[in-house]
């Protein structure tokens, strides 16, 4: 058994090293450091959603740099990470984490015809661990993943100031910007309801509605621990669910001035049945809007 564990440990370290090398070859360094870290290397208890995290230390090297966490959408992996967006933030001096998690199924596939609490239970399970419609082991929850990754970075880079984003109990939420696309944006929104984040940035989500009357999920109307002036969001006017997203933003009480409407073309050679959805985090024409949403000066 001991020998097996040693082999597993060697395999994890080799995969993490290979991933980091691949990223360094495929992406030119613009003055910031970057690394790819396998979740199971950070915490061997992780079994699902083991696609690498991406970590960027901003070009300025300031220990007081904002930390922006990005959560991908359903089935999103490191290979499809919005590199242009992540690089833009890092190039402005931000610390950036692309945080993978178990995102193999969407709430909108499970909950629209389930009992009303389903959407909240789905998001709570993925964020904090527990049962419900998608049982999630505590080690594989989004909050635990972020906590353990920050602790890992603090151990591996003790002079880089990663401890400023931590408390003894977990992430120091007022120092962290949570953001995401699609399912990831829904997770960021649910978290912002419960903790006072530095900022929350939503790309084209959530749209937690029940069929057939399209009634918004009750959690969207709950009081928010993150003040409304720290909420920012966008939707593409031609994506398939744009009307549902607009109603969700209204339920979340996001200020109208903090909701940006995108209206650009789909990505080149798009094959998705909803190409405008993913385009909101991939096309360079949206860089000025991204800067506004994340508070880049």
How much is the pLDDT for 33?
86
The pLDDT of residue 103: 96
The percentage of the chain sitting over the pLDDT mark of 90, rounded to a whole number, equals 74
Instruction: Please tell me the predicted confidence (pLDDT) of residue 266.
Output: 85
| pLDDT of 18 over the 60 cut | no
pLDDT tens for each residue of 41-65: 999 999 999 999 999 987 655 667 8
pLDDT tier at 12 (50, 70, 90 boundaries)? Answer: very low
- Predicted confidence at residue 87, as pLDDT, reads 94
What topology does CATH give the domain 2-294?
Rossmann fold (3.40.50)
Taking only the tens place, the pLDDT of each residue in 117-169 is 999 999 999 999 999 899 999 999 999 999 999 999 999 999 889 999 999 99
| Cβ-defined contacts of 14-23 (< 8 Å, 24+) | 15/41, 16/41, 16/52, 19/52, 19/78, 23/54
Contact 101, 145 (CB under 8 A): yes
Can you give the pTM of this predicted structure? Answer: 0.88
Q: What was the pLDDT predicted at 67? A: 96
Cα 75 to Cα 81, 129, 173, 183, 211: the distances in Å are 11, 19, 26, 9, 23
SS3 labels along the chain: CHHHHHHHHHHHHHHHHHHHHHHHHHCCCCCCEEEEECHHHHCCCCCCCCCCEEEEECCCCCCCCCEEEEECCCCCCHHHCCHHHHHHHHHCCCEEEECCCCCCCCHHHHCCCCCCCHHHHHHHHHHHCECCCCCECHHHCHHHHHHHHHHHHHHHCCCCCHHHHEECCEECHHHEEEEEECHHHHHHHHHHHHCCCCEEEEECCCCCEECCCCEECHHHHCCCCCCHHHEEEEEECCCCCHHHHHHHHHHCCCCHHHEEEECCCCCCCCCCCCHHHHHCCCCHHHHHHHHHHHCCC
């Amino acid at each position: 058994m001991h020998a097996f564990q040693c082999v597993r440990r060697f395999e994890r370290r080799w995969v993490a090293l290979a991933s980091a090398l691949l990223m360094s070859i495929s992406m030119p360094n613009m003055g910031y450091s970057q690394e790819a870290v396998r979740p199971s290397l950070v915490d061997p208890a992780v079994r699902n959603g083991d696609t690498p995290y991406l970590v960027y230390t901003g070009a300025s090297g300031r220990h007081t740099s904002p930390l922006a966490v990005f959560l991908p959408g359903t089935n999103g992996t490191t290979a499809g990470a919005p590199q242009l967006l992540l690089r833009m933030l890092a190039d402005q001096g931000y610390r950036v984490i692309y945080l993978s998690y178990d995102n193999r199924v969407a709430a909108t596939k499970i909950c629209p015809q389930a009992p009303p609490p389903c959407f909240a239970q789905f998001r709570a399970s993925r964020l904090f661990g527990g049962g419900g419609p998608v049982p999630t082991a505590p080690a594989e929850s989004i909050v635990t993943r972020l906590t353990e990754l920050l602790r890992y970075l603090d151990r591996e880079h003790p002079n880089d100031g990663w401890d400023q984003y931590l408390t003894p109990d977990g992430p120091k939420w007022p120092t962290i910007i949570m953001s995401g696309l699609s399912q990831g944006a829904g997770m960021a929104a649910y978290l912002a309801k419960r903790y006072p984040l530095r900022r929350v940035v939503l790309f084209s989500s959530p749209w937690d509605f029940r069929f057939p009357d399209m009634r918004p999920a009750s959690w969207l109307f709950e009081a928010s621990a993150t003040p409304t002036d720290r909420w920012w969001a966008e939707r593409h006017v031609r994506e398939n669910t744009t009307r549902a997203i607009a109603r969700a933003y209204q339920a979340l009480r996001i200020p109208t001035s903090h909701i940006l409407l995108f209206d650009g073309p789909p990505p080149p050679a798009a094959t998705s049945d909803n190409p405008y959805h993913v385009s909101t985090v991939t096309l360079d024409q949206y860089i000025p809007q991204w800067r506004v949403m994340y508070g880049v000066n």
